[in-house]
C-alpha cells in the first residue's frame, strides 16, 4: 500500500508528479517447496504481488508495496498504548522494570498451564529493583515535578493496582485479575517515565529547525459527526449519539517534526470541518488544505536507535523495525507527498485500520516502515469502524501538550 496526497506547490522541486485515482491492494500468493531438516519442514514462501482497483478516490492513491513475510515470532507492539509506552526515553532502571512486567503479558497468552511461578518471580524482582533504586528513579524527575513523582512512586510500590497488588493477583492464579492489575501497574510506570522525559533526548539536524516541532507527548481530540445525519454507537453507551469523540496521542519523542506540523495544523483550525474518506484499510482526511502545513521529510525512528532517520524508509525484510509501528489498529500517519516519497504530505493524514488477516506472516503490515507514523488512537477506537466517506471532523483541538509545542524562531 502506498498512500499519496495530491500535488502541492510547496513540495520539493525537481521531482516528478505522479497521479492516479484508484485504491489498490496487494495480496500475497504463497507457493513453495519443502526441504527436510532434522525431521522439520521449512516452507519456502514466494511472493506474488497483484493489485486490483477497489474504489475511485481522489486525490490520493495506493500502489502495490513490496510485501514482507516476517518471522511468526516478530515482536512489535500490538496496541497503541504499548507502542507509546515503549517509545518513552526514560530512566534505564524504569525501562528494565517495564520490560520485565511486559514479559508477563506474553506469558499470560500461553493457552495451557500458565507459568505463574515465573510471573511472580519477575514481579518480585521488579519490586526489589523499585525499592533499591528509589533515589535513581526519583532523581530523574525534574524538581518541579518531584511531588507528583513521589506520589506515583508510592502508588507503584504500595498502592492499589501496584506491584504488591500484582503479586497478590498472581498468587490467586486468576489470569483476568492479573491482566487488569498488570495494566494498572504499567500505566503507573508510564506516568513516571513521562515525568522523567521532559523533552527529546537528541539534537535535531540544523536544517530542520525551520519546522514546528513537538518535544514530547500531545493529545488531539476530534469531534466527528456523520455526513448523512445518522448516529454513532459509543463504548460508553447512552444510546445513539450524533457526535463522537476520538483522541489521538501524538509522540514527539519519536517523530517531533511530523507531530509538530500536525499539532500546528490542529491549533490553526485547519482540520475543522474537513470531510473524511474511508476504505477497508484507512481513514483519510479529504484532500489538501489549501497549501497549509509544511512538507516535512519522511521521519521514522528505528527500534534500538536514539534519533529518527529522515528521507528514508526502513527495510523491514532486513530486520529494521520502527519504534512507532504502523501495524497497530488506529495508528496515525501522514500520507506520502505526491511529488517525492522522501517527504510526507503537508497536511493529509490517515488513521490505519490494521487487520491481521491482510498482514504478513509475522503480523506486520506490508507497508511497515514506509510512512511517518506519529501517534495512535487511544480513545474512540470503536468509532473508527463506524466512519464512512463523507463523515466530518467537526472540530479538532490540541487538549494536552501545548507546553511541548515549539514554533520555529521565524514564526515565534
Q: What is the pLDDT of residue 198?
A: 81
Q: What is the pLDDT of residue 1?
A: 58
Domain 90-196 has CATH 1.10.287.540: no
Predicted confidence band of residue 48 (pLDDT cuts 50, 70, 90) = very low
Bridge partners (DSSP) of residue 292 are none
- Strand-pair category, 274-278 with 51-56: unpaired
Bridge partners (DSSP) of residue 344 are 336
**CATH 2.40.100.10 occupies which residues in the chain?**
206-406
% of the chain exceeding 70 in pLDDT: 80
Q: What is the pLDDT of residue 412?
A: 54
pLDDT in tens, 290-307: 667 899 999 999 998 999
Predicted confidence band of residue 364 (pLDDT cuts 50, 70, 90) = confident
Q: If you average pLDDT over every residue of the chain, what do you get? A: 83
Compute the average pLDDT of residues 299-322: 92
Compute the average pLDDT of residues 244-255: 97
SS3 call for 210 = coil
Compute the average pLDDT of residues 62-81: 57
Predicted confidence band of residue 319 (pLDDT cuts 50, 70, 90) = confident
**CATH 1.20.120.290 occupies which residues in the chain?**
90-196
Q: State the Cα–Cα distance between residues 107 and 111, nearest whole angstrom.
A: 9
Strand residue runs (E) in 44-152: 51-56
Which has more confidence, 331 or 38?
A: 331
Compute the average pLDDT of residues 23-44: 36
Q: What is the pLDDT of residue 383?
A: 96
Task: Report whether pLDDT(145) > 50.
Answer: yes
Compute the average pLDDT of residues 382-391: 96
Residue 84 near residue 251, CB atoms below 8 Å: yes
At the topology level, CATH places domain 206-406 in Cyclophilin (2.40.100)
Name the CA radius of gyration of the chain, rounded: 22
Burial 229-239 (b: 16+ CB within 10 A, else e): eeebebeeeee
Which range (209-218, 321-330, 339-348, 362-371) has the least confidence? Answer: 362-371
Task: Report whether pLDDT(284) > 80.
Answer: yes
Q: State the Cα–Cα distance between residues 274 and 224, nearest whole angstrom.
A: 10
Please count the other Cβ atoms lying within 10 Å of the Cβ belonging to residue 158: 11
Cis amide bond preceding 59, omega within 30:
yes
Task: Name the DSSP class of 367.
Answer: T
Predicted confidence band of residue 3 (pLDDT cuts 50, 70, 90) = low
Compute the average pLDDT of residues 286-292: 70
Task: Report whether pLDDT(66) > 90.
Answer: no
Q: What is the pLDDT of residue 45?
A: 36
Site of grid cell 518513552: 88
Q: State the Cα–Cα distance between residues 234 and 349, nearest whole angstrom.
A: 24
Amino acid at each position: 500500500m502506498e498512500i499519496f496526497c495530491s500535488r502541492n506547490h510547496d513540495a520539493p522541486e525537481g521531482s516528478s508528479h505522479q497521479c492516479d485515482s484508484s485504491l489498490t491492494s496487494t495480496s500475497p500468493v504463497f507457493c513453495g517447496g519443502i526441504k527436510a531438516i532434522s525431521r522439520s519442514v521449512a516452507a519456502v514462501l514466494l511472493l506474488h504481488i497483484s493489485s486490483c482497483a477497489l474504489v475511485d478516490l481522489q486525490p490520493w492513491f495506493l500502489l502495490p508495496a513490496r510485501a514482507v513475510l516476517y518471522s511468526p515470532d516478530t515482536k512489535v507492539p500490538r496496541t497503541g498504548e504499548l507502542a507509546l509506552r515503549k517509545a518513552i526515553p526514560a530512566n534505564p532502571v524504569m525501562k528494565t522494570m517495564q520490560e520485565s512486567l511486559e514479559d508477563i503479558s506474553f506469558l499470560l497468552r500461553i493457552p495451557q498451564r500458565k507459568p505463574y511461578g515465573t510471573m511472580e518471580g519477575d514481579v518480585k524482582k521488579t519490586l526489589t529493583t523499585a525499592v533499591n533504586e528509589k533515589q535513581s528513579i526519583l532523581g530523574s524527575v525534574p524538581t518541579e515535578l518531584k511531588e507528583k513523582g513521589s506520589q506515583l512512586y508510592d502508588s507503584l510500590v504500595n498502592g492499589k493496582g501496584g506491584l504488591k497488588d500484582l503479586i497478590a493477583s498472581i498468587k490467586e492464579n486468576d489470569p483476568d485479575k492479573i491482566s487488569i492489575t498488570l495494566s494498572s501497574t504499567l500505566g503507573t510506570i508510564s506516568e513516571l517515565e513521562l515525568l522523567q522525559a521532559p523533552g527529546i533526548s537528541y539534537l535535531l539536524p540544523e536544517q530542520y529547525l525551520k519546522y514546528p516541532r513537538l518535544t514530547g507527548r500531545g493529545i488531539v481530540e476530534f469531534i466527528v459527526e456523520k455526513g448523512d445525519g445518522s448516529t454513532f454507537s459509543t463504548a460508553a453507551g447512552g444510546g445513539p449519539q450524533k457526535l463522537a469523540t476520538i483522541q489521538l496521542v501524538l509522540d514527539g519523542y519519536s517523530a517531533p517534526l511530523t507531530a509538530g506540523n500536525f499539532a500546528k495544523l490542529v491549533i490553526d483550525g485547519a482540520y475543522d470541518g474537513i470531510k473524511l474518506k474511508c476504505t477497508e484499510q484507512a481513514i483519510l482526511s479529504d484532500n489538501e488544505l489549501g497549501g497549509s502545513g509544511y512538507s516535512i521529510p519522511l521521519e521514522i525512528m528505528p527500534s534500538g536507535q536514539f534519533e529518527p532517520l529522515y528521507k528514508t524508509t526502513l527495510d523491514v525484510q532486513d530486520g529494521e523495525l520502527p519504534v512507532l509501528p504502523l501495524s497497530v489498529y488506529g495508528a496515525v500517519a501522514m500520507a506520502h507527498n505526491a511529488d517525492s516519497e522522501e517527504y510526507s504530505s503537508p497536511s493529509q493524514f490517515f488513521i490505519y485500520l490494521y487487520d491481521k488477516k491482510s498482514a504478513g506472516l509475522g503480523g506486520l503490515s506490508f507497508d511497515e516502515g514506509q510512512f511517518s507514523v506519529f501517534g495512535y488512537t487511544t480513545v474512540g477506537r470503536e468509532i473508527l469502524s463506524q466512519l464512512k466517506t463523507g463523515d466530518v471532523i467537526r472540530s479538532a483541538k490540541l487538549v494536552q501538550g501545548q507546553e511541548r509545542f515549539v514554533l520555529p524562531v521565524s514564526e515565534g
